[in-house]
Amino acid sequence: MRGGRVDPAHNLAERTAAAYRTLEIDASVSNEELTRVYRRLMSRHHPDKLKANGLPESMLEHAKQRTQAIREAYELLREQRGMG
């Protein structure tokens, strides 16, 4: 922060780096691999699938938060990469 203001480019760079960490991938992956990783993580962490597999209700909120974070990370990276 400079003079009490947030540098938007710095914030975007931090958000982008966090998105890659959330998806557990490196920035060098292809767009196709990014999409594969996103789909795999959504399948693995989706609350409906976990509930069907016997996940206790108490854990569903965490699963919902995790899928939301995955979705937001993917959307940010798609936008950054111009994936439309």
What is this structure's pTM?
0.83
| Residue-range definition of the domain harbouring residue 61 | 8-81
Could you tell me if residue 3 is inside a domain? no
Interacting residues of 74 by C-beta distance below 8 A, sequence separation 6+: 19, 23, 34, 38
Mean pLDDT score, 46-64? 87
For residue 84, pLDDT beyond 90: no
Are residues 23 and 70 in contact, defined by beta-carbon separation less than 8 angstroms?
yes
Examine residue 36 and state whether it is found in any structural domain, yes or no. Answer: yes
Q: Which residues pair with 9 in a beta bridge?
A: none
What pLDDT sits at residue 1? 44
| Structural domain includes residue 42 | yes
For the chain, report the end-to-end CA distance as a whole number of angstroms: 32
Count of structural domains within the chain: 1
